[in-house]
Amino acid sequence: MKSEANRIIQVKNLVKQYDKLVAVKGISFDVYEGEIFGLLGPNGAGKTTTLEIMETLRDKTSGEVIIDGLSVDKNPSDIKRIIGVQLQAAGYYPSLSLMQLLDLFAGLYNVSINKNEVLESVALKDKAKAKFKELSGGQKQRFSIATTLINKPRVVFLDEPTTGLDPQARRNLWDLIKQIRDTGTTIVITTHYMDEAEVLCDRVAIVELGEIIALDTPAHLIDNLISKGFERKTEVKQANLEDVFLSLTGHEYRE
Amino acid sequence: MNTPKYSQFRAMMALAKASLASTLKSPSAVVFTLVFPLIFIVVFGFIGGGAFKMDVAFDSHIDKGSPIYQGLMASHSVNVIDDKTDEQVQSDLEKGKIDAWLNIQNTQTQGMPHYVITVKTSKASADKGNMLKLILDDIVNKINLGAAPQHQDIAEMRATEVSGRKYSMIDFILPGMLGFSILSTGVFGTAFVFFNLRQTLVLKRFFATPVNRIYVVLGESLSRLVFALAGALVIIVIGYFIFNFTLVHGLVTVLNMLILSAIGLIVFLGFGFIISGLATNDSTIPVFANIVTLPQFLLAGTFFSISAFPVWLQHIAKILPLTYLNDALRKVAFEGAGLQDLGKELLILTVWGIVIYIAAAKTFRWE
């Protein structure tokens, strides 16, 4: 049973207004330590804005955000030291090698790291000397996630981490994310992929037009829907086409 | 748990190191900072040894035995053109391709030699044409005087030559090229880099780390400074060892030049920051960057002294910061000036620096 003491993130009445557009309309939720918490919703729902406010990258209009006892208003630098951030489509110095980039981030976080171990944890050890621009999409995402782990953070924020990846890469990234959670790190993830939310998240908040319209474990959400008499229109098979593709082409890393 | 205090300096140095590594892998940075200036230095370095020469077409029957002819050839200032027809000579004169046409004939009268010199010059190359006439005049006067020694002189000329350091073209060009290198590195490098870092969200990722924004700028600037000074050193060394560039006080001069380069770079970085903030997309950057660098490249006394310009253009040249950097570099290299002798140049550069950085603070964008 999750107690109040386990809350590592508290968001209270968060509002973000841009001129006339209110992107986030007063949402509140808690994230418990060690869980994978998802913000699920279509593009424009306000998930990324919420995430960026938690990451101290964006100012809020009103409300409170507390991470590990620290307020984003009063202690943003301290928060930055204990979180890992993976941005949607962020770049790095493209001509630098992965080793050089890891050195850079180790310096930025003021930590010493074992670069080989870090790369190994995201299965990029053999790409250590490769330049960032030479990596494939899946490899770039994996490297991005590697940079979030450098400072051994308490919380890792992932913004749509599997967008644009092929099925193999997605599945493998899911495994990686679960491994990170298993080491005790809390993960907050935004996604518009429903299957991703279902597979990964311990609890998920469904976000629509700046508001949370549901917050629960995926299982409960589904049970609630079925108990209201919902019936799927098409026959649900034991497998789907993605399963077919994966069983034919293999589950291991493609690249 | 006691976490050590966060060191912005450590973060800044990590950033400077990464930025420098990235710059060294960028071909355009190396081209603008090093290759371009070196090409000019090599070309002008080789030209520099040349002496003053006039292209003169001689008539086919010119009297080569005459003392005028011999005096003229002994001056080593004539490039003889003797392979053209009369029509070609006329047309070349009009176009300024030939500086003059010359004929010397001996029309002996009463047993005394009498040389008639016919010279044709053209408005198209007035300078050299006049030079030739002056040289011939001098020769003629000496001959005439020699023939009538009893003539009392009313005026005489005594000419002496002060010995001085040989000022060759490289001594003018190299500081200009150095200034150009510093300007390019400061403006182009910074403008493109910050624009791209911002667009590709590299900056945004940095801001998620505890590093302070200013230290990001400082780290990048430090890397650009190291790169520019390394380039400057290469240019000076090549100039000195291969083209006999004058370094009056040796190593001290080199040091002073590097300090000046650093000051110049810091000022020019400001331009780069402004451009990166104002540019809306990749293709506007070269436009802005060239507006800042090209006029200075042409007008700041990079290739030739600004005294060659008409006065109104000189006024414009005297506003540009590069003019003062070039002047300062020349004074240090050739006249052995110390930094304390460069009050005027340093003052103007500082004023420019203040103005630019105030503007940069207003226009620079972080995202």
CA neighbor of B182 nearest in space, from B118, B262, B247: B262
Which residues from B are below 8 Å from A when comparing CB atoms? 3-4, 6-7, 10-11, 13-15, 17-19, 21-22, 25-26, 200-202, 204-211
B209–A109 C-beta distance less than 8 A: yes
* Cα–chain center distance at B333: 14
Give tens-digit pLDDT for A6-42: 899 999 999 999 988 999 999 999 999 999 999 998 8
Taking the C-alpha atoms of residue A12 and residue B137, their distance in angstroms, rounded to an integer, is: 99
Query: How many other CB atoms sit within 10 Å of the CB of residue B193?
Result: 22
Give me the pLDDT at residue B164, please.
67
Does the structure show a pLDDT above 70 at B297? Answer: yes
Is the residue at A21 inside a domain?
A: yes
Give me the pLDDT at residue B227, please.
93
Q: Residue A95: which of B11, B26, B205 has the nearest Cβ?
A: B26
Residues of B in contact with A53 (CB under 8 A): none
Residues of B in contact with A101 (CB under 8 A): 18
Residues of B in contact with A56 (CB under 8 A): 208
Give me the pLDDT at residue B339, please.
85
Q: CA of A130, closest CA in chain B: separation in Å?
A: 14
Q: Residue B14: which of A57, A90, A108 has the nearest Cβ?
A: A108
Residues of A in contact with B15 (CB under 8 A): 104, 107-108
CA neighbor of B191 nearest in space, from B283, B295, B74, B307: B283
Q: Which CATH class is domain B54-162?
A: alpha beta
Residues of A in contact with B204 (CB under 8 A): 57, 87, 90
B18–A104 C-beta distance less than 8 A: yes
Question: Greater confidence, A104 or B282?
Answer: A104
In contact, B101 and B59? CB cutoff 8 Å: yes
Give tens-digit pLDDT for A172-183: 899 999 999 999
CA neighbor of B299 nearest in space, from B290, B287, B288, B309: B309
In contact, A124 and A98? CB cutoff 8 Å: yes
One-letter-per-residue 3-state SS of B39-69: HHHHHHHHHCCCCCCEEEEECCCCCCCCHHH
Give tens-digit pLDDT for B92-101: 888 888 888 8
Range B164-167 contact pairs with CB under 8 angstroms and sequence separation of 24 or more: B165/B246, B165/B248, B165/B334, B167/B246, B167/B334
Q: What mean pLDDT comes out for the span B260-288?
A: 92
Q: Residue A107: which of B3, B11, B208 has the nearest Cβ?
A: B11
In contact, A92 and B202? CB cutoff 8 Å: yes
Q: CA of B210, closest CA in chain A: separation in Å?
A: 5
Is the residue at A26 inside a domain?
A: yes
Q: What is the ipTM of this complex?
A: 0.89
A87–B208 C-beta distance less than 8 A: yes
Domain hosting A177: range is 4-87+155-249
In contact, B203 and B197? CB cutoff 8 Å: yes
Residues of B in contact with A104 (CB under 8 A): 14-15, 17-18
Is the residue at A69 inside a domain?
A: yes
Where in chain B are the domains? 54-162, 169-363
Give me the total of CB pairs closer than 8 Å, taking one residue from chain A and one from chain B. Answer: 81
One-letter-per-residue 3-state SS of B207-223: HCCCCCHHHHHHHHHHH
Give tens-digit pLDDT for A204-248: 999 999 999 999 999 998 888 888 887 777 777 788 777 877 787
| pLDDT band for position B51 (cuts 50, 70, 90) | low
Q: What mean pLDDT comes out for the span A182-193?
A: 94
| CA B25, B26, B29, B34 torsion-angle sign | positive
B209–A92 C-beta distance less than 8 A: no
Which tokens go with B339? Answer: 């930094």
Give me the pLDDT at residue A1, please.
46
Taking the C-alpha atoms of residue B75 and residue A193, their distance in angstroms, rounded to an integer, is: 89
Minimum Cα–Cα distance from B366: chain A residue: A57
Give tens-digit pLDDT for B210-225: 999 999 999 999 999 9
Does the structure show a pLDDT above 60 at A4? Answer: no
Is the residue at A141 inside a domain?
A: no
Cα→Cα distances B124→B51, B99, B130, B139, Å: 21, 8, 11, 25
Q: How far apart are the first and last CA of chain A?
A: 41
B205–A147 C-beta distance less than 8 A: yes
CA neighbor of B54 nearest in space, from B161, B137, B126: B126
A75-94 in b/e form (b: 16+ CB < 10 A) is bbebbbbbbbbbbbebbbbb
Taking the C-alpha atoms of residue B199 and residue B241, their distance in angstroms, rounded to an integer, is: 43
Give me the pLDDT at residue A185, please.
95
Residues of A in contact with B19 (CB under 8 A): 93
Secondary structure (DSSP) of B10-46: HHHHHHHHHHHHHHHT-HHHHIIIIIHHHHHHHHHHH
Is the residue at A245 inside a domain?
A: yes
| pLDDT band for position A61 (cuts 50, 70, 90) | very high
Give tens-digit pLDDT for B147-167: 776 666 777 777 777 666 667
Residues of B in contact with A77 (CB under 8 A): 6, 210
Give tens-digit pLDDT for B97-113: 888 888 888 887 777 77
In contact, A37 and A203? CB cutoff 8 Å: yes
Does the structure show a pLDDT above 80 at B208? Answer: yes
To the nearest whole percent, how much of chain A has pLDDT over 90?
Answer: 70
Measured in degrees and rounded to the nearest 5, phi and psi for residue A215 equal -150, 115
A85–B202 C-beta distance less than 8 A: no
Q: What mean pLDDT comes out for the span A126-142?
A: 92
Give me the pLDDT at residue B108, please.
79
Question: Greater confidence, B98 or A185?
Answer: A185
CATH number at residue A230: 3.40.50.300
Residues of B in contact with A96 (CB under 8 A): 18, 21-22, 25
pTM of the model: 0.79
B211–A108 C-beta distance less than 8 A: yes
Give me the pLDDT at residue B130, please.
83
Does the structure show a pLDDT above 90 at B43? Answer: no
Q: CA of B358, closest CA in chain A: separation in Å?
A: 26
Which residues from A are below 8 Å from B when comparing CB atoms? 55-57, 77, 80-81, 83, 85, 87, 89-96, 100-101, 103-110, 147
Axis crossing angle, helix B213-243 with helix B8-24, rounded to the nearest 10? 50
A91–B22 C-beta distance less than 8 A: no
Which tokens go with B197? Answer: 């870092």
Which residues neighbour A9 within 8 Å (Cβ) at sequence distance 6 or greater? Answer: A30, A31, A37, A54, A65, A66, A67, A68, A155, A186, A188
Q: What mean pLDDT comes out for the span A67-81?
A: 94
Question: Greater confidence, B48 or A183?
Answer: A183
Q: Among the listed ranges A1-10, B18-27, B198-207, B340-349, which one has the minimum average pLDDT value?
A: A1-10
